[in-house]
């Protein structure tokens, strides 16, 4: 099947680019004489390059259509964490002990894949007890994984594999309006602009809180992408305000950042962003009353919840039921389209509202159908997974919060997903599924599944690996 061959070949291209990124933490590890961590990173780098070369060698053609691109992204989000989890397994960052002697050899693998998926989807759930004690190279590696996933690395690369005359449709699929004649240039500017944000706030965090550039850069990536969360104490200082601003920037759509860097100031406040700001202000006032906290702390947690940053200055788990429910709604609403935030997204809520009141920028029939399918599918998956997860022995409300936090790539926990709380492996895999569904979105998954048989792809992958092994065996003989 030619389409499957193209998908596998381009997956190899993704793996090769991923290997290039690993040079940065390897350099950090060499500088700090972290030999064990560097060894694991080098192995991961070479494996990524090697597998990428094998996959990429089976097909020269790289252009993909819409359905093939969706399948490529679905597979990439599942396969890349398999490679990216190797340093976590190698260094046993969870301090599990001998996985064979523990009686559960799959715990280390499950935790490692969970950690990689959590980072790549920018969720931020973690079973690492003391991440600050990790070697600097591994600490930066964790943040790098979320940066790769958070800036839409997979989506950006897929844009270069897409036919020129169809790039507009591809961009619209992922909520990117046509901001220029050269859409590939626009997609590349995504990574460049977010890199500039990381650099600026690394400097701010270095002088305001972290006396080390590696820790400061990790914090900047963590806050922007909404992945693993740095510790932020309550109070109003330069660091807290900087974190709040960066979370807010991460929740705004790329159109805002693109116009900001091109100094198109009059085009910054789109209807979607205006609505998002109004929701944040109203929600902060409501939470301030419900949780009885000061307005700044309320605004901080509200922005964190909606931007999927997952940083708390007061514990959401300790608030009353009304506040918890409202926090769940804030997280499910999420941030703007094509941003670091997860959730349903403000542009969908806005279009549904316009369709109901028949005013403003109303969606077409097909657009409304796609939006409703996405929203209904999101809630259907949330309910089913929450009911299953509640069998762990928690209330349905806490289960909805935990699964919702995974699906919106938020990472705030009720204390259930924690290094200090034992969790059966099945529930960890359920959260892995929730994180992947939340990042890839229901509509994309449905479109991919309806467009190409999964079994064919698995079969082709197996065939490619078999041929590669046979070639290596012949060369040795």
* Higher pLDDT among residues 465 and 313, named by residue: 313
* 281: number of Cβ within 10 Å: 13
CA 425 to chain CA mean position, Å: 22
Quickly list DSSP for 197-210. Answer: HHHHHHHHHHHHT-
Residue 296 has pLDDT above 80, yes or no: yes
* Higher pLDDT among residues 232 and 434, named by residue: 434
Note whether 281 and 337 are within 8 A (CB).
no
Residue 453 has pLDDT above 50, yes or no: no
Q: State the Cα–Cα distance between residues 34 and 138, nearest whole angstrom.
A: 9
Instruction: Determine phi and psi for 202, rounding to 5 degrees.
Output: -60, -45
At CA 437, angle to CA 435 and CA 438, rounded to 5? 65
Would you state the structure tokens that stand for residue 44, as one six-digit string?
Answer: 């991961």
At CA 275, angle to CA 367 and CA 243, rounded to 5? 115
Q: CA dist 429 to 113, 114, 117, 403, 432, Å?
A: 9, 8, 11, 12, 5
pLDDT (0 to 100) of residue 171: 55
Residue 457 has pLDDT above 60, yes or no: no
Query: With the C-alpha atoms ordered 373, 379, 385, 388, is the resulting torsion angle positive or negative?
Result: negative
pLDDT digits 0-9 by tens, 52-94: 888 877 665 556 666 777 787 888 889 999 999 999 999 988 8
* 262: number of Cβ within 10 Å: 12
For residue 369, name the pLDDT band (cuts at 50, 70, 90).
confident
Residue 383 has pLDDT above 70, yes or no: yes
DSSP 3-state of 152:
coil
Note whether 127 and 94 are within 8 A (CB).
yes
Q: State the Cα–Cα distance between residues 447 and 56, nearest whole angstrom.
A: 25
Please give the share of the chain, as a percent, with pLDDT higher than 70: 81
> Can you tell me the mean pLDDT for 40-51?
93
Note whether 250 and 226 are within 8 A (CB).
yes
Q: State the Cα–Cα distance between residues 336 and 245, nearest whole angstrom.
A: 15
- Top mean pLDDT of 77-86, 354-363, 452-461 is at 77-86
* Higher pLDDT among residues 129 and 455, named by residue: 129
pLDDT digits 0-9 by tens, 21-30: 999 999 999 9
pLDDT digits 0-9 by tens, 211-237: 889 999 999 999 998 878 778 887 888
pLDDT (0 to 100) of residue 25: 95
Q: Measuring CA to CA, which residue among 304, 321, 322 is closest to residue 313?
A: 304
Q: State the Cα–Cα distance between residues 10 and 92, nearest whole angstrom.
A: 31
Note whether 229 and 311 are within 8 A (CB).
yes
Residue 243 has pLDDT above 60, yes or no: yes
DSSP 3-state of 310:
coil
Note whether 227 and 411 are within 8 A (CB).
yes
pTM tops 0.85, yes or no: yes
- Top mean pLDDT of 177-191, 285-299, 347-361 is at 285-299
């Amino acid at each position: 099947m030619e389409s499957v061959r193209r998908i596998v070949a381009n997956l190899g291209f993704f793996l090769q680019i991923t290997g290039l990124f690993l040079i940065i933490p390897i350099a950090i590890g060499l500088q700090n004489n972290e030999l064990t961590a560097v060894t694991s990173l080098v192995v991961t780098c070479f494996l990524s390059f090697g597998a990428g070369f094998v996959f990429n060698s089976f097909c020269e053609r790289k252009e993909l259509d819409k359905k093939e691109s969706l399948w490529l992204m679905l597979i990439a989000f599942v396969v890349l964490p398999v490679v990216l989890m190797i340093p976590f397994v190698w260094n046993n960052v969870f301090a599990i002990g001998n996985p064979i002697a523990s009686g559960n050899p799959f715990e280390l693998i499950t935790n490692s894949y969970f950690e990689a998926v959590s980072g790549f989807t920018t969720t931020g759930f973690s079973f690492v007890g003391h991440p600050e004690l990790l070697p600097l190279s591994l600490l930066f590696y964790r943040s790098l994984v979320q940066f790769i996933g958070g800036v839409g690395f997979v989506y950006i690369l897929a844009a270069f594999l897409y036919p020129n005359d169809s790039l507009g449709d591809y961009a619209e699929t992922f909520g990117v309006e046509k901001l220029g004649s050269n859409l590939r240039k626009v997609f590349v500017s995504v990574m460049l602009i977010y890199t500039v944000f990381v650099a600026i706030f690394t400097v701010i965090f270095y002088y305001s809180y972290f006396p080390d550039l590696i820790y400061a850069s990790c914090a900047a990536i963590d806050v922007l992408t909404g992945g693993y969360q740095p510790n932020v104490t309550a109070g109003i200082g330069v660091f807290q305000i900087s974190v709040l601003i960066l979370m807010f920037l991460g929740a705004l759509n790329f159109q805002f950042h693109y116009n900001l860097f091109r100094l198109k100031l009059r085009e910054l406040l789109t209807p979607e962003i205006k609505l998002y700001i109004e929701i944040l202000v109203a929600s902060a006032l409501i939470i301030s009353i419900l949780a009885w906290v000061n307005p700044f702390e309320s605004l901080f947690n509200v922005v964190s919840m909606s931007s999927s940053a997952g940083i708390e200055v007061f514990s959401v788990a300790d608030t009353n039921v009304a506040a918890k429910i409202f926090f769940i709604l804030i997280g499910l609403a999420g941030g703007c389209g094509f941003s670091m935030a997860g959730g349903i997204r403000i542009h969908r809520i806005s279009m549904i509202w316009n369709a109901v009141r028949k005013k403003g920028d109303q969606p077409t029939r097909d657009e409304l159908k796609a939006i409703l399918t996405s929203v209904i599918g999101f809630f259907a998956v949330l309910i089913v997974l929450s009911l299953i997860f509640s069998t762990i022995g928690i209330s349905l409300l806490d289960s909805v919060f935990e699964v919702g936090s995974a699906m919106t790539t938020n990472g705030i926990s009720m204390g259930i997903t924690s290094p200090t709380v034992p969790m059966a492996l099945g529930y960890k895999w359920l959260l892995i599924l929730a994180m992947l569904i939340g990042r890839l979105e229901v509509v994309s998954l449905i479109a991919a599944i309806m467009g190409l048989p999964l079994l064919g792809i698995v079969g082709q992958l197996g065939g490619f690996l078999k041929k590669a092994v046979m070639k290596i065996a012949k060369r040795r003989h």
